[in-house]
Amino acid sequence: MRNLLVCVSLCVTQLNGQVVGTLHDGRDGKDYRTVRIGNQWWMAENLNHKTRNGSLYYDNDGKTNSSTYGMLYDWNTAATSCPNGWHLPSHEEWSYLEMELGFRPNEPVSGNNMYGRDEGGMLKEAGYSHWLAPNIGASNTTGFSALPGGHFSMNQFWGRNKVGHFWAGEKDSTSAWYRSVANNDARIHIFYQEKSNGYKSLRCVRDSIILTGRFMGQSSPGRLPKPFGLGIISRLGSNEHTVSFSPDGKEMYFTRDPDRKTFTVRSQDGEWTTPVPARFNGREAIFSPRGSRLLFGDGDIWFVKKKNDEWSSPQKFNSNINTEAYEFYASMSDNGTLYFSRLENRHPSIFASQFRNGEYLEAMKLPAPINLDSGNNFHPFISPDEDYLIFNSDRTGGFGDADLYISYKNKDGHWERPINLGGKINSELRDICPTITPDGRFLFFTRNWEEDGKWQGDVYWVSTDFINEFKRQSPDIAKKTRRE
């Protein structure tokens, strides 16, 4: 049997740009609105399934509260009350939802466990039909339609029309997470408590994840980076990077640390497989422009060739590229020129080797302004026509620990002063490992950080509209424009 993430059929439609559907609960015949956010399906209403024990209506008034606010559940009941094919969302699944809304991977807390800026408002039903004023920031741009069902604790009911508490998975054997949104705040509150303490609302999430269509069915980003493949490619607690798609869009490679392994996913009959380790040992695999080679490294630069839809055994580039130093992260132009990183004396720099008469020439270190002695410059991605180079650097003047830069080759064949991709793409974290999709439409990169001595990171993607816009800012282009 193929290793596929199987998708259960669901009646879906588009509504105001949102992908929505209907869930039928065969246990009691109730229907619920559902909405797709990222690659997850969420109930867009509070669960309203009455159980023999462990569930309550607010104020014990089912006639008033049932159809609108659903039931309140204790932890043990909530854990087993979702319809078949759906489940109580975990803390991680809530985190993926929040990242889709714009949470940073390591979102800092503000005040009393309040996170973000307006993400809670993006979840809340707008208006005052069910929320008391002021219902700050409520826009419901996600279609999640969070409702203020209140909660039950210390033998009394609290907060209907003011607050919505939603179970969010197990923290440990005695405590559980929950999320909270309130009428007087646009942010999301993240708490945990003893499992035995209280009753809360429940929004179920679908077991299966949608993995169909180009780019694994992900909604295309605009000019602001969006996380890619949350829960599938990008996972909490690990560091994913170096995404590369084949020219036909049916094969993708990425690296996951601390596994230090390259993984691959493939599109078969319109469905994407789950990630499996590649058949070679090495990291940071990147396709050549025509897809005939896959480059990767492990201290030396290697490649495999494709023949009859199969990859060859790994081959190592010659000594003009591989030395006693540590070589890594290679990309190739359409004419075969190889750009890669070399680590010497713990200082990474970018090198290039030209392909002439069937062999690679001695690799040369790119001069300033690409490589600067005052900073680390590495992870180069060269365009197929070799007209621009994207790389990351920690040179002064950036937004974070490492930023993404672009440099254009001028008419004399020299690389111009690199341009920082700006604060909409770069962040206060490390933004590294750039690749461009074969169709030229999207930039993929990784945003990572160190936490408790361990590197964590997630893959992001963004439109490449910036490439032509920044080109008009490059010095040589500007001079040419003035002359004309």
What is the tally of structural domains in the chain? 2
pLDDT (tens digit per residue) in 327-380: 999 999 999 999 999 998 889 999 999 999 999 999 999 999 999 988 999 999
pLDDT grade for 481, boundaries at 50, 70 and 90: very low
Residue 205: both structure tokens together = 């999430």
Q: Say if 120 falls within a structural domain.
A: yes
Select from 165, 184, 206 the last residue of a domain.
206
Give the start-end residues of each E strand in 362-470.
364-365, 377-382, 388-393, 403-408, 419-420, 430-436, 442-451, 454-463
Same domain, 155 and 185: yes
Residue 221 lies in a domain: yes
Whether 112 has a pLDDT exceeding 80, the answer reads no
Give per-residue pLDDT as tens, 461-470: 999 999 999 9
- Split at pLDDT 50, 70, 90, the class of 102 is confident
Q: What is the mean pLDDT of residues 282-292?
A: 97
Angle at 11 between CA 8 and CA 16, to 5 degrees: 125
Cβ atoms of residues 184 and 132 within 8 Å: no
223 and 195 within one domain: no
Is 60 exceeded by the pLDDT of residue 297? Answer: yes
Cβ neighbours, 10 Å, residue 73:
26
**DSSP labels, 84-152:** TTEEPPPHHHHHHHHHHHT--TTPPEETTTEESSSHHHHHBPPSSSSSPTT-TT---TTS--B---BEE
Q: Is position 6 within any domain?
A: no
pLDDT computed for residue 105 by the predictor: 65
Q: Three-state DSSP class for 466?
A: helix
**CATH code, 410:** 2.120.10
CB 31 within 8 Å of CB 300 = no
pLDDT score, position 218: 85
Domain that holds residue 161: 12-206
Q: Is residue 2 part of a domain?
A: no
State pLDDT tens for residues 389-418.
Answer: 999 999 999 999 999 999 999 988 999 999
Instruction: Judge whether residue 443 has pLDDT over 70.
Output: yes
Q: Does pTM surpass 0.75? A: yes
Per-residue pLDDT averaged across 298-322, rounded?
A: 94
In a domain, 49, yes or no: yes
Please name the residues in contact with 52: beta carbons below 8 A apart, sequence gap of 6 or more: none
Q: With a cut of 60, say whether residue 480 has pLDDT above it.
A: no
pLDDT at res. 165: 98
Confidence of residue 14 (pLDDT cuts 50, 70, 90): low
285 and 322 share a domain?
Answer: yes
CA–chain centroid gap for 156, Å, is 41
Q: Both 284 and 161 in a single domain?
A: no
pLDDT at res. 266: 94
Does residue 163 lie in a domain region? yes
Residue that is last in its domain, among 206, 227, 245 = 206
Maximal CA-CA distance, the chain: 83
- Residue 23 pLDDT class (50, 70, 90 cuts): very high
- Whether residues 252 and 157 share a domain: the answer is no
Q: Does residue 188 sit in the same domain as residue 227?
A: no
Q: Are residues 254 and 392 in the same domain?
A: yes
- Co-location of 202 and 77 in the same domain: yes
The reply to whether 1 falls in a domain is no
C-alpha 38/C-alpha 99 separation (Å) is 9
- Is residue 433 a contact partner of residue 412, using CB atoms and an 8 Å limit? no
Q: Could you tell me if 168 and 280 lie in one domain?
A: no
Give residue 104's pLDDT: 75
The residue out of 152, 174, 206 marking a domain boundary is: 206
Query: Within this chain, do residues 196 and 278 fall inside the same structural domain, yes or no?
Result: no
453-477 average pLDDT score: 88
Mean pLDDT over all residues of the chain? 91
Cα torsion through 261, 267, 271, 273, rounded to 10: -20
| pLDDT tens by residue, 235-270 | 988 999 999 999 999 999 999 999 999 999 999 888
In sequence order, the β-bridge partners of residue 367 are: none
Q: Is the CB of residue 266 less than 8 Å from the CB of residue 256?
A: no
Q: In sequence order, what are the residues at sequence separation of 6 or more whose Cβ sits closer than 8 angstroms to the Cβ of residue 351?
A: 321, 339, 340, 341, 342, 363, 364, 365, 366
Q: Assign 131 a pLDDT band (cuts: 50, 70, 90).
A: very high
Considering the domain boundaries, does residue 308 fall inside one? Answer: yes
Identify the pLDDT of residue 9: 39
Least confident of 68-77, 119-128, 219-228: 219-228
For residue 476, the model assigns a pLDDT of: 63
Confidence (pLDDT) at 169: 93
**What pLDDT was estimated at residue 4?**
38
